[in-house]
Amino acid sequence: MANGKDNNKAVSGQLLEFVPDSYLDRTSRPVYALVYLLGFIVFYEFGTIMMNPAILDKTLSQWHVRVVSFVWIQNILEYLGFSHRMTWIAAPAAVIIILLVLQITSKSSWYVNLFDFIPMTLECIVLAVPLLVLSLLVNAYPIGQAAGGFLAEISAQAGEGGFLLSPLMSQIITGIGAGIYEELIFRLILISIIMIVLQDFIGLGKGSSLFIAIVVSAFLFSIHHHFFFVDGEFTTSKHDPFTVATFTFRFLAGIYFAAVFAFRGFAIVASSHAFYDIIAALLNTFAFNPPNS
């Protein structure tokens, strides 16, 4: 059986011991994820609503530009009894509550040094670079999105009463949402559950449990971009057909993100994922498909 300290570290993503109160130690804490990602969460919520305000009054099956993992959370909340409109508040609130609980159970310091956010941003951008290179090697170009997971094609068309946004801005908004909610589902929640089951109930060692958790989460992360269950129905992606190249890239990306999560925690992996999608969208727009070409 794993002890309580190991469980707390496994769930929070802090699987390495860092020098106390060092940059690596501070930025691995759940409270850093809470504060650093708050702006991304708000940007995704308001950006999505700005594209189509009518989504607040429509059922989940009626609106477009959806991050699958975000919709999964909304589906669960609706099943629990939340109204559709309330899920737009409850979904980000769920992320905040999870991080607060992890911070409390970790018994680590609540102090946040805002100056750490500058090197955190640089670290996340640097961590996105290997995936950009991998995508070019596997997919050639345009650069593949590790996020994807959208139920409908992103377009420049404004929804009912919404603002007309460029395809680039739409991709940035959804990419940020994918970074937060896909990492929440496939890394923070799934890896933690698998490790707890394998260590506490089956009795596997920490290393074996982590290896299995990483491989399983990476496989499910990759496959969910093509085949997924949402809104009570099993469906396939019409705009992101399955190919060996895209599946392989996302499987490897899933392993990479899992490793980042295991060593650096949720704040860094979610932000690295978001920055990867942002940079990929920028490169695809201005380098591989320039506006005047």
- Amino acid sitting at position 33: A
Residue-level pLDDT at 62: 44
Residue 220 burial class via C-beta count within 10 angstroms: exposed 0-12, middle 13-18, buried 19 and up: middle
Residue-level pLDDT at 42: 95
Measured CA to CA, the distance from residue 2 to residue 5 in angstroms comes to 8
Q: What residues have CB less than 8 Å from 104, skipping those under 6 apart?
A: none
Measured CA to CA, the distance from residue 161 to residue 89 in angstroms comes to 20
User: What tokens does 189 get?
Assistant: 């929640």
User: What tokens does 224 get?
Assistant: 């969910």
Residue-level pLDDT at 162: 46
Residue-level pLDDT at 194: 95
User: What tokens does 127 get?
Assistant: 């961590």
Hunting for tokens 């999105």 — which residue is that?
145
C-alpha distances (whole Å) from 9 to each of 47, 239, 264 are 33, 38, 11
Residue-level pLDDT at 237: 63
Question: Mean pLDDT in the chain?
Answer: 82
pLDDT digits (tens, 9 = 90+) for 271-283: 999 999 999 989 8
Residue-level pLDDT at 35: 98
Hunting for tokens 């990479």 — which residue is that?
256
Res 84 pLDDT > 90: no
**DSSP letter assigned to residue 145:** P
Q: Lowest-confidence range among 40-44, 277-281, 289-293?
A: 289-293
Q: How far apart are the two ends of the chain, measured CA to CA in Å?
A: 60
Q: Lowest-confidence range among 19-28, 90-99, 159-168, 199-208?
A: 159-168
**Per-residue b or e along 46-74, where b marks 16 or more CB atoms closer than 10 Å to that residue's CB:** ebbebbbeebeeeebeebbbbbbbbbbbb
Residue-level pLDDT at 152: 40
Cis status, amide bond into 142, omega within 30 of 0: yes
State CA 229 to chain mean position distance. Answer: 18
Integer Rg of the chain from CA: 19
Q: Where are the chain's structural domains?
A: 17-286
Res 222 pLDDT > 80: yes
pLDDT digits (tens, 9 = 90+) for 69-78: 998 998 899 9
Res 219 pLDDT > 50: yes
